[in-house]
Amino acid sequence: MPVKIVIADDHKIVRDGLTVLIEKQHGFELVGQAENGREAVDLVRLKQPDIVIMDLSMPEMNGIDATCEIVEEFPHCKIIILSMHADKRFVNGALQAGVSGYLLKECAFKELTNAIQAVCSNQTYLSPQVAHMVVNDYRQHLQSDGRAEKLTTRERAVLQLLAEGYSTREMAEKLHVSVKTIEARRRNMMDKLNIGSVAGLVKYAIREGISTL
């Protein structure tokens, strides 16, 4: 049976380019495209693919938070990050979320096919640049302050939308909760992160890669 693949990237030209390459490849079947993380989660529920090729920096829900939801609900689904970011914050966040592969967008399509084949065999695939960074990070024992890990997935969703400029009412509508719930989550985040203002939350979200405005 062919490997069923979903592409999640907010740039149409990237999605279209990958679609052409994947459809030419024997043994691969493209079953859907998503332009943000929320759409990717919905597509996985609908199509139940084997692989999601996921960008990190996407509106409404980023690739890391989308990965968390997908891996928790569909552990059989493998996530391969295809991103321009080689920064350790992004790589570590993706690995902690449960991705099976991490490649940079500068890679050749052959490397992506190798990654797909590797993760289908329950292996982890990292591009050479990313693997080098991970090894160096391990050697130097670099660790973040861990504050972002205290946030729940729901709080992170609010934080990203907040950083992207959505109002409280707009966030409530997008997340299908009440305005009071959004306000409560914002207060909880401020308490957990010891941040006293909305502007501080926005800066924190950008610094930690939750949003890349």
Within-domain flag for 136: yes
Query: Is 213 contained in some domain?
Result: no
Distance between CA atoms of residues 151 and 192, nearest Å: 8
The CATH code of the domain that includes 203 is 1.10.10.10
pLDDT at 49: 97
Q: What is the DSSP string of 60-112?
A: SS-HHHHHHHHHHH-TT-EEEEEES---HHHHHHHHHHT-SEEEETTS-HHHH
| Residue 212 resides in a domain | no
* Same structural domain, 65 and 18: yes
Q: Are both 47 and 135 inside the same structural domain?
A: yes
Q: Are residues 37 and 102 located together in one domain of the fold?
A: yes
Which residue positions in the chain have pLDDT lower than 70? 138-149, 213
Q: Which helix (H) or strand (E) holds 184?
A: helix 179-193
194: left (phi over 0), alpha (psi -120 to 50) or beta: left
Same domain, 37 and 134: yes
Q: Pick from 122, 125, 127: which is nearest to 50 by CA?
A: 122
Query: Mind listing the pLDDT tens digit for each residue in 144-171?
Result: 555 556 788 899 999 999 999 999 999 9
Structural domain total, the chain: 2
Q: At what angle do helices 179-193 and 153-163 cross, to 10 degrees?
A: 100
Whether residues 132 and 35 share a domain: the answer is yes
One domain for residues 67 and 115: yes
The pTM assigned to this predicted structure is: 0.74
Last residue of one domain, picked from the residues 119, 140, 161: 140
Q: Say yes or no: 128 and 174 in one domain.
A: no
Query: Does residue 202 sit within a domain?
Result: yes
Which one-letter amino acid corresponds to residue 196?
G
- Does one domain contain both 106 and 188? no
Domain boundary among 105, 140, 175: 140
Q: Which domain holds residue 184?
A: 148-207
Same domain, 97 and 43: yes
